[in-house]
Structure 1
């Protein structure tokens, strides 16, 4: 992990946000890791990416973290979405408790296994637990049933399977497994 800084996205980073998302969707694991296709994302306007980076920079209901090298290159990312109790859930109806939801996890293949994913998750959870309003009960994520490498990392990091299984929105015959990390006491 030497030489990398983990930091939040800034509004002016929109072009790098776009480039890293496209790189993630070119990864061979993308079909079981992301809900968007490369074709969908490549067709989005610069305005979309400017809005996305701007919103993630504010840190209100969404915060994106990146791993940035000394030369400015981005090699990894994770985003935290805040889900309020009582609001609609992408997968299963209604959110039962106020929580963080990790999405968009990606580390370039040549950097996997170097500690960058752990550092990104540390930053995401630190930010999540530091929120004064809303206070998050837990952080969750979903992993495709065939993404064993990701599931193994999540378990090693401290996430535990909740037992909740939902159909993948882009392919209802496939399953997404929920993993949770309870708020430390």
Structure 2
């Protein structure tokens, strides 16, 4: 198991948040509703806001930091009262070198988000690109089930995001 510390970034971490987001977009472009080009065009003010957006009552943003201080993964959540009626998992990424069940990084991050979600509702919902087999397998292993709902993927409306949900209460 990879030893990681789970932290919540703050506004001052904006450059590291930006660097991790760009790594995410380059590694798995279908997993996020943003292009690398759009992210690179963001101003420092936007990145500062993004770095700090997990610090509200209705949201969480977590980062896994390895023993060397490298940010190797992230997951966030927010209470989506309009669409899913409760906590929604978003922005999930683990760096390639920190992936896998034995590394435990994804599990550590999801454990922390699920802990937060318990205080927000009875279940945690997520949306995953239909072609992201690795992520779907991870969520299934963690007890998430398809709800049957699909959402057109904003960067390619011929593809869908699949909704999955798990009871966390």
TM-fit CA distance, 1:62:
2.0
The 5 Å alignment of 1:1-185 reads: 1-27=1-27, 29-30=28-29, 32-56=30-54, 58-84=55-81, 87=82, 89=83, 95=84, 97=85, 99-113=86-100, 114-129=103-118, 131=119, 135-184=120-169
- How far is 1:3 from its partner? 2.8
Whole-Å separation in 2 of the counterparts to 1:138 and 1:2 = 28
Following TM superposition, by how much is the alpha carbon of 1:69 offset from its aligned partner in structure 2, in angstroms?
A: 1.7
Cα distance per residue 1:140-180 (max 9 Å; x no partner): 11111111111011000111111111211221111111000
Q: Post-superposition shift, 1:70?
A: 2.5
Q: Which stretches in structure 1 are left out of the alignment for 5+ residues?
A: 90-94
Secondary structure of the 2:115 match is helix
Q: Secondary structure at the match of 1:158?
A: coil
The one-character-per-residue Cα deviations of 1:59-101 (angstroms, maximum 9, x if unpaired) are 32221111002232100000101112xx3x3xxxxx4x3x111
2:136 aligns to what SS in structure 1? helix
Number of positions where the alignment pairs a residue of Structure 1 with one of Structure 2: 167
Which stretches of structure 1, 4 residues or longer, exceed 4 Å deviation after superposition?
none
Distance (whole Å) between structure 2 residues aligned to residue 20 and residue 117 of structure 1:
15
The separation in 2 between residues aligned to 1:9 and 1:62, in whole angstroms, is 12
TM-score scaled by length of structure 1: 0.85
Q: Structure 2-normalised TM-score?
A: 0.92
> What are the ranges of 5 or more consecutive residues in structure 2 without an aligned counterpart?
none
Q: Secondary structure of 2:33's match?
A: coil
